[in-house]
Structure 1
Amino acid sequence: MAQFRAGTRVRALLPWQEGELERLQTLYQAGSLSHAFLIHDLGHEVEASRSFAAQFAAGVFCENQLLGGCLRCSSCQLRQAGSHADLHWLQPEEAKQIKIEQIRSAIDWSHQTAQQGRAKVLVLDTVEHMNMYAINALLKLLEEPVENTFILLLSSRPLLVLPTLKSRCQRLEIAACLPAEAIVWLAKRHPDIEEADLQSLYDLTGQKPLAADQLLQSGEQNQVLNLVEGLQHWLKGEVTPIQAGQRLHVKERPEMVFDVLFRAIAEAHRQQSGSQTKMKSESVRYLSELLKGRFDHWHLCQLSDRTVKARQAVLSGHNLNAALLIDQFLLNTEIT
């Protein structure tokens, strides 16, 4: 991966982020905006933080100073094309860490004159993945800010960010999208999808609207919904583990079955403890009820642990036969 990436894919302004973005843009126009922010999405959706950072940059760069950009001026067009020279997006490289060489290059870039004559924005994506050498280099940039250069540190796990970094940034927690608002937003973007299916996808992605939106855009929604039905048939004993495995294997994303199962197990735990349900999808609630009826609390915890380990094995990058792993998982699960 290149050291710098000129932003993520262009996404429309998210309605639940508009208020905070407008506040920051007002501060920027007044010349009183902090130079560094540690950004965390309270909905625990890293794509939401990325969208926020991209839209912040859009408002700063726009020649017409419109929230989210006017999409017509030369600066907005450069940003949409992914070639805006005053926006640099830094991510972990192959070693899954942001390295000191990347930070040094960022420091050199920060001292260059803004090519579009406005501000410059540096985004450090998943900043918790930095080694100590990179952190020490970044501290110098944070302690000696460059005029009209803004640094956005994105973190999905802010507890892992060192206090020395936190103390030099303004903490910015982005409000999560409310469930009702999320379904309305998804329905507007995908008017041909039934609301019940939108609700199921929203629940199965951990109530993350952007993750559900990505599934819909990729056309994988039917595969996910079929996983729920396939797991129901397996738990009811209507199919053998091998027959279920054939239905539950999604070639492009074999970890999906374990994602779905883990969400349903978490809901079954809530049902067993008498806690209020978080799932509104009838099909997902029914799957959770089947799990609750087939496993006591102790065995449900065991199943949850095995599900997490199986998912990690699929995503490990090793040359595993995912279909065989799913079959073995089902065969080794004793349903009472």
Structure 2
Amino acid sequence: MPYVDRQNRICGFLDIEENESSGKFLRRYFILDTQQGSLVWFMDNPQNLPVGTDCVGSLKLTYISKVSDATKLRPKAEFCFVINAKMRKYFLQANDQQDLVDWVNTLNKATKITVPKLSDNQQNSENQRALPDVVGPKKQVSYKTEIIGGVPIVTPTQHEGGDVANKSEREAMQRSHSQLPYFLGRTAQDHTVIKSGYCVKQGAVMKNWKRRYFLLEENSMSYFKSDLEKEPLRMIPLKEVHKVQECKQSDIMMRDNLFEVVTTSRTFYIQADSPEEMHSWIKAVSGAIVAQRGPGRSAATVRISNSTTCYTKFCFNSGWVEIP
């Protein structure tokens, strides 16, 4: 899903047909920067690329005339939409239907061109000519002119003192949806795989960040170099996990969508591709730990054994598990 990063830009992964009419879609990280008036895309999140890495493609928002659903134009490309820009059409694939709707609405909203406001006298004169006479006392109403897809559109900005802007547009980026993992190509047994997908992990020694394929099963969480590998780089037994939660040091690390898996020997810092995906991973790992402990220990319990008191605390809905 598109999300707003620390620089107030709208970001997210999409698949794009870079070579027109090739039918080959490549996964890219998109950044919609309304302040700069541009849509750019990279091989990966720039945070995971060497400093100074150039984008692989870009579009000025003023070149975009329309963004629309293209599932009928490209029936073989699932969740496809098209950006009409200059003399070319850019076809892209979203992650799911809601992702498609969010990107289409966001891009169309970003490419609206607002005509500079006229002076009060000019505006009143224009409004008087454009609007029919209204019986009864007149109310002052201000209007704005926007160019959408090359067509001038006049809309009221206030009505009886209230903003008539569509509330659904303001809340579009606040919706939360579960995001499907990008790659499900492994041959692991279906009944044991709880969640899988790519995330970015911090290395233990060099502290560098690398994209890894994660696989959550009933008793462990493993990560691989890619989804094609059979042997994991490391397997983390869930019985060794003390806590999984959103990382409190994300501001210091300058990483969006960062969560941490705390084990006996190490804390794993993992970055998801979106806030929804981050919360999905936290919930999935928390749920797997609760399931592993058994239903008898799915709530705050106290167990006494050999004169030792062991406290176990779970909070599934809030997305964290703590076991001292």
Give TM-score, length-normalised by structure 1: 0.30
Greater Rg over alpha carbons, structure: 2
Give TM-score, length-normalised by structure 2: 0.31
Whose RCO is larger (CA < 8 A, sep 6+)?
1
Higher strand share: 2
